[in-house]
C-alpha cells in the first residue's frame, strides 16, 4: 500500500515531517460525543472539526505557511445532555486544564498562534481564552467553524444536527449518515415555558430531553451534500486566510489605526 498522509495533520505525521521546521500556527479542534438526531453519528462534531482543521492546514501549506492540525479533543461540554445514553461530558474547568497543558506543550516549539477550532455549540471557549491569554505569549483565537461562512445556501441552517451540519457530514462522511431519509427526525423543538427566556431577556441552558424530540435542533431534511461541500470549502478558505494572517501577526500590534 502506498504512503499517503495529509500535510500538517499531526496524528498522521512522522517525526521527520515535523522536525526542523517552524510551525507558526496550530489548530486545535474541539468536538463532542453526543447524539445528533436519528441520522448523524455521535462523533459528528469531532469528525467535522478534524476535517476542517486538516483542510485548513493543507490550504495554508499550499500557500507556503506551515500550519499544524492537532488531534481533536473528542469530548465537549454536554452538562444538559447527560440523560441521553453515552453522552460524554467534560466540564469547562476540565477544558481549561487541557487547553493550558496543550498551550504549555506548544510554547517551546515556536508556535505563535493557536486557533481553537470549535465544532460544538456547548463549548464556550471565550472564557478559557480570557483566562489563559495573560499567561502565554501564544496568541489565542477562536473560530466556530459553522459560523465561518455564509449561510445563504441553506433553507434553514439549524442548530444541532440541522441542515448545515447534516449537509457537512453528507459531504465528509456519507457512510455515517442514516441512508433512509424517511427515518430522520424533523428536529423540531419546544419553546421555553418562561417568557423571559423566549424573548431573550434571559438565557438558560436547554435541558435537551425537554427541549427536543429526536435530540436534533433544526430540520435536516432539506440537506444536500453539494451544499455542505460548498459551505465547508468557503469556511476552510476563510479560516485558512486568518491562519496565514495570524502566522505573521505582531502580538504588540493586533489593534491599531488603519
Ligand atoms: Zn454537532
Nearest-10 crossing angle of helices 225-247, 44-62: 50
For residue 109, report the distance from its CA to the centre of ligand 1, in Å: 32
Whether this model's pTM surpasses 0.95: yes
**Alpha helix stretches (DSSP H) within the chain:** 15-18, 44-62, 92-106, 126-132, 163-172, 195-198, 208-211, 225-247
Phi, psi angle pair for 65, to nearest 5°:
-110, 125
Q: What is the pLDDT of residues 25-41, one digit of tens each?
A: 999 999 999 999 999 99
What residues does each domain of the chain span? 10-240
pLDDT at site 258: 85
Residue with the three cell numbers 489593534: 255
CATH code of the domain made up of 10-240:
3.40.50.10310
CA 115 to chain centre: 11
Question: How many angstroms does the Cα of residue 243 sit away from the middle of ligand 1?
Answer: 23
Cβ contact 78:32 at 8 Å: yes
What is the CA(43)–ligand 1 centre distance, in A?
A: 8
- Helix, strand and coil content of the chain, in percent to the nearest 5, comes to 40, 15, 45
Neighbours of 96 (CB within 10 A): 16
Q: What are the tens digits of pLDDT across the range 58-111?
A: 999 999 999 999 999 999 999 999 999 999 999 999 999 999 999 999 999 999
Cα 110 to middle of ligand 1, angstroms: 32
The conformation of residue 135, written as its DSSP 8-state character, comes to G
Q: At what angle do helices 163-172 and 44-62 cross, to 10 degrees?
A: 60
Q: How far is the CA of 258 from the centre of ligand 1 (A)?
A: 38
CA atoms within 13 A on the CB side of 253: 7
141-181 per-position pLDDT tens digit: 999 999 999 999 999 999 999 999 999 999 999 999 999 99
Amino acid at each position: 500500500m502506498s504512503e499517503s498522509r495529509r500535510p500538517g495533520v499531526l496524528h498522521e505525521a512522522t517525526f521527520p515531517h515535523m522536525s526542523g521546521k517552524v510551525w507558526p500556527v496550530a489548530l486545535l479542534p474541539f468536538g463532542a460525543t453526543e447524539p445528533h438526531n436519528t441520522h448523524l453519528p455521535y462523533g459528528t462534531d469531532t469528525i467535522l472539526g478534524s476535517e476542517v482543521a486538516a483542510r485548513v492546514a493543507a490550504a495554508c501549506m499550499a500557500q507556503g505557511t506551515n500550519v499544524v492540525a492537532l488531534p481533536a479533543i473528542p469530548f465537549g461540554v454536554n452538562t444538559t445532555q447527560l440523560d441521553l445514553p453515552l453522552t460524554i461530558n467534560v466540564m469547562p474547568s476540565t477544558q481549561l486544564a487541557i487547553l493550558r497543558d496543550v498551550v504549555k506543550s506548544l510554547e517551546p516549539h515556536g508556535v505563535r498562534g493557536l486557533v481553537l477550532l470549535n465544532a460544538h455549540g456547548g463549548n464556550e471557549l471565550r472564557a478559557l481564552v480570557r483566562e489563559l491569554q495573560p499567561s502565554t505569549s501564544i496568541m489565542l483565537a477562536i473560530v466556530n467553524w459553522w459560523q465561518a461562512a455564509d449561510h445563504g445556501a441553506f433553507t434553514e441552517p439549524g442548530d444541532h444536527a440541522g441542515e448545515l451540519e447534516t449537509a457537512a457530514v453528507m459531504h465528509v462522511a456519507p457512510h455515517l449518515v442514516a441512508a433512509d431519509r424517511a427515518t430522520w427526525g424533523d428536529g423540531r423543538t419546544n419553546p421555553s415555558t418562561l417568557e423571559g427566556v423566549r424573548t431573550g431577556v434571559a438565557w438558560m441552558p436547554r435541558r435537551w430531553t425537554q427541549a427536543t424530540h429526536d435530540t436534533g435542533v433544526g430540520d435536516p431534511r432539506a440537506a444536500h451534500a453539494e451544499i455542505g461541500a460548498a459551505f465547508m470549502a468557503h469556511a476552510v478558505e476563510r479560516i485558512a486566510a486568518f491562519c496565514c494572517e495570524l502566522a505573521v501577526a505582531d502580538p504588540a500590534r493586533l489593534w491599531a489605526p488603519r
